[in-house]
Amino acid sequence: MTAVLQRSFRILEELAVAPEGRTLTELVSELGLPLSATHRLLADLIEQGYVRKDERRGEFLLTMKMPSLGLRFLSAAGIADIAQPILEKLAAQCGELVRLAIVEDDQLIYVAKAQGARQGIVYDPEMGRPVTLSCSAAGIVWMSTKSDEEAMALVSKQGFGTPAEFGPRAPTTFKALLPMIALARGNNYATTQDMFLPAMSSMATPVLGAAGEVRAILIIAGPMSRLGEERMKDLAPIMQSTALELSEASSVSPMFRRSLGMQHGKQGAVTS
């Protein structure tokens, strides 16, 4: 990838987590890029319709072009049509936020959600962001389907989520993380409390393909006041049966068919 493309993507990624926008000075400081190069790249991104400038405040913001591309892709892939009714049903049953994260190379990306909470604390983080593997139920259960060496490699590449950035119980060493992965491996689901966010709980289980490969992760999340350990134990069978339903339904999704074909191709390359 050329330096221009790399820098352009870094700008887009930075603006994606700054809905209020970033000034040129802030972007230069955050990304460590030369001022003149950053200014040129922003001008190109504005010309292509991916970025706009608030002339009054001097801040650069993403337009809706990038999100619309993602939504069009998910629509064409069949994710919304296939998964949404199933997620809505589970959300109504558990009364909490239900999410679906797909496997994309060495990351998990949130792509769909259904909100079951109608009152009180409503937990609803943003979609489209990579899952922090070390301190999320989704990440832990995904890593439980891999060897410890593979799991450590994934976390080493992404980095640990620290208690200062996430919840007070977020593990910061492999010594603390590996027993959680082992427990999830035995249960076929993972639970966390006070890890991804303070006073929040989550639980997750894999969505498998016909060959046993992990296509996605199904997650239930909510406040610890409602989603305690016993409640999560009660919800585990419902969550796992929903994951099975998603597994069966996902065979008609072009995205999942492509993912399955890619994984089969990789396996063939290894064995040939």
Q: Could you give the domains of the chain?
A: 3-63 (1.10.10.10), 69-270 (3.30.450.40)
CA distance 146 to 126: 27
Q: For 184-188, what is the mean pLDDT?
A: 97
Residue-wise pLDDT for 63-115, tens only, equals 888 766 766 665 555 555 678 899 999 999 999 999 999 888 888 988 888 98
Quick one: what percent of the chain has pLDDT higher than 70? 82
Q: How many CB atoms lie within 10 A of CB 218?
A: 28
Residue 111 contacts by C-beta under 8 Å, 6 or more apart in sequence? 74, 79, 100, 101, 102, 127, 128
CA distance 202 to 220: 6
Q: For 216-224, what is the mean pLDDT?
A: 95
pLDDT the model gives residue 169 = 96
The residues pairing with 115 across neighbouring beta strands, listed in sequence order, are 97
HSE, side-chain direction, 13 A CA sphere, residue 193: 10
pLDDT the model gives residue 262 = 39
Residue-wise pLDDT for 222-268, tens only, equals 999 999 999 999 999 999 999 999 888 766 555 555 443 434 344 33
